[in-house]
């Protein structure tokens, strides 16, 4: 039985120190705590989120989330409009949204203040708000990413027992692409679940499904992460339903199964993630499928900064997934998109090298891009 509790919160807008280099969000809004989709691998079950133990049935609804957001953005003298991700720690369109409409009301506020939006969801309910999302996209920038972790309906039911079917989610992307002109939409192929959805055939079905749905992009990461009680929850389910895979997990994450505590690694072995990345790269090439999202470019002094940062961050991503040194272009890009002035002014003063992580090679690259 699901219990909803309305609760007051002091803050609603998360402001990140650095823009996310995959999803391009500077801000985050979570109208809910807890998520009724109940995915057994969900990272929000880990201790750091401090959510109720019954994460999928004990749902906290943030009281007057939209009003608080409106107040925060109205007083926001130091904030510049930038991408707001909805959500991080729960699906913005899980079942509670049909009743409380907090996500929709927050979107109306973001539309009013002309903030771009990135929706991350598994739900068909997002289609209810297509009019609003199209409007945000037309006036600004809007992106809807739909997550698929397995195409086999039975595997998906095991992993994500209360979420829509994989085909239903591909249909969400198709509907968005067929009915909007200004909304980017694609498929998040993450996390990959070892042994359950990681065969070459599984990964190909995901990329092919995205292509057939008309997705603008896919995004792929690596294997699921594991920590504290989230790992225990997942491993308990795995042991009950697929005990034959436990050995492989022990090897990949470096632990010995104990139902009371998890002492393994947070990430799967690099060698595993490298194979997954190479497979996805080959599939994206074969299906002519972009694997990066076109970012929001503001119409102010940040435009050129963001454009150059996007090139550096895309390059860093390519280096990372092919196992090469990637941190320098990555952090150069992250720092450039945090500049408080146009990068052209920095270049004109001959001070590009003062930006952290910009060395001689990146300086040359930036100058060439600026036409200097």
Measured between alpha carbons, how far is 321 from 27 in angstroms, rounded to an integer?
26
The residues, any chain, with a CB within 8 Å of residue 294's CB and separated by 6 or more, are 184, 216, 217
Using the rule CB under 6 A, give the single segment among 33-41, 68-76, 234-242, 313-321 that binds ligand SF4. 33-41
Using the rule CB under 6 A, give the single segment among 38-46, 62-70, 166-174, 337-345 that binds ligand SF4. 38-46
C-beta of 88: minimal distance to ligand SF4 in Å? 8
Of 122-151, which residues contact ligand SF4 (CB under 6 A)? 122
C-beta of 44: minimal distance to ligand SF4 in Å? 5
Residue 31 CA neighbour count, 13 Å, CB half = 26
Q: Does 169 bind ligand SF4 (CB under 6 A)?
A: no
C-beta of 45: minimal distance to ligand SF4 in Å? 8
Taking CA 298 as the corner, what is the angle to CA 297 and CA 300, rounded to the nearest 5 degrees? 135
- The residue within the footprint of ligand SF4, chosen from 30, 33, 46, 90 (CB under 6 A), is 90
Q: Does 234 bind ligand SF4 (CB under 6 A)?
A: no
The two tokens of residue 163 are 């979420």
Using the rule CB under 6 A, give the single segment among 35-43, 165-173, 295-303, 341-349 that binds ligand SF4. 35-43
- The residue within the footprint of ligand SF4, chosen from 13, 19, 29, 42 (CB under 6 A), is 42
Using the rule CB under 6 A, give the single segment among 9-17, 31-39, 76-84, 363-371 that binds ligand SF4. 31-39
C-beta of 92: minimal distance to ligand SF4 in Å? 9
The residues, any chain, with a CB within 8 Å of residue 333's CB and separated by 6 or more, are 21, 308, 309, 310, 311, 312, 313, 316
Q: Does 35 bind ligand SF4 (CB under 6 A)?
A: yes
Q: Does 37 bind ligand SF4 (CB under 6 A)?
A: yes
Taking CA 130 as the corner, what is the angle to CA 124 and CA 133, rounded to the nearest 5 degrees? 120
The three state secondary structure string of 279-332 is HHHHHHHHCCCCCCCCCCCCCCCCHHHHHHHHHHHHHHHHHHHCCCCCHHHHHH
C-beta of 146: minimal distance to ligand SF4 in Å? 11
C-beta of 160: minimal distance to ligand SF4 in Å? 6
Give the burial string for 280-303 (b: 16+ CB within 10 Å, else e). Answer: beebbeeeebebbbebbebeeebe
| Residue ranges in contact with ligand SF4 by CB under 6 A | 35, 37-39, 42, 44, 90-91, 122, 160
């Amino acid at each position: 039985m699901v219990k909803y509790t309305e609760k007051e919160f002091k803050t609603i807008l998360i402001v990140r120190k650095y823009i996310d280099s995959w999803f391009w969000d500077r801000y985050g809004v979570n109208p809910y705590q807890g998520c009724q989709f109940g995915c057994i691998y969900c990272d929000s079950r880990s201790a750091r989120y401090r959510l109720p133990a019954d994460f999928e049935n004990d749902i906290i609804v943030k009281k007057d989330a939209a009003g608080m957001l409106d107040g925060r953005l109205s007083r926001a003298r130091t904030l510049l409009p930038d991408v707001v991700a909805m959500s991080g720690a729960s699906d913005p369109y899980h079942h509670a949204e049909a009743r409380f409409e907090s996500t929709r009301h927050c979107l109306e506020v973001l539309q009013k203040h002309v903030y771009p939006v990135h929706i991350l969801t598994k739900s068909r309910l997002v289609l209810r708000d297509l009019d609003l999302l199209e409007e945000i996209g037309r006036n600004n920038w809007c992106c809807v990413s739909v997550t698929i972790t397995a195409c086999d309906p039975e595997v998906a039911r095991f992993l994500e027992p209360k979420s829509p079917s994989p085909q239903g989610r591909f249909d969400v992307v198709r509907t968005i692409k067929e009915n909007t002109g200004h909304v980017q939409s694609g498929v998040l192929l993450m996390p990959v679940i070892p042994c359950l959805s990681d065969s070459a055939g599984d990964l190909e079905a995901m990329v092919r499904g995205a292509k057939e749905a008309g997705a603008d992009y896919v995004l792929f990461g690596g294997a699921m992460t594991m920590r504290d009680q989230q790992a225990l929850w997942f491993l308990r389910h795995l042991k009950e339903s697929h005990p034959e895979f436990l050995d492989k997990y022990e090897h990949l994450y470096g632990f010995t199964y104990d139902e009371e505590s998890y002492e393994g690694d947070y990430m799967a072995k690099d060698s595993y993630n490298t194979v997954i990345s190479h497979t996805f790269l080959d599939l994206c090439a074969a299906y002519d499928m972009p694997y990066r999202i076109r970012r929001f470019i503001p119409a102010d002094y940040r435009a050129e900064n963001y454009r150059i940062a996007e090139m550096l961050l895309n390059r860093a991503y390519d280096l990372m997934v092919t196992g090469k040194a990637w941190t320098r272009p990555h952090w150069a890009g992250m720092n450039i998109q945090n500049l408080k002035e146009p990068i052209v002014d920095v270049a004109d003063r001959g001070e590009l090298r003062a930006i952290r992580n910009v060395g001689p090679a990146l300086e040359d690259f930036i100058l060439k891009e600026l036409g200097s």
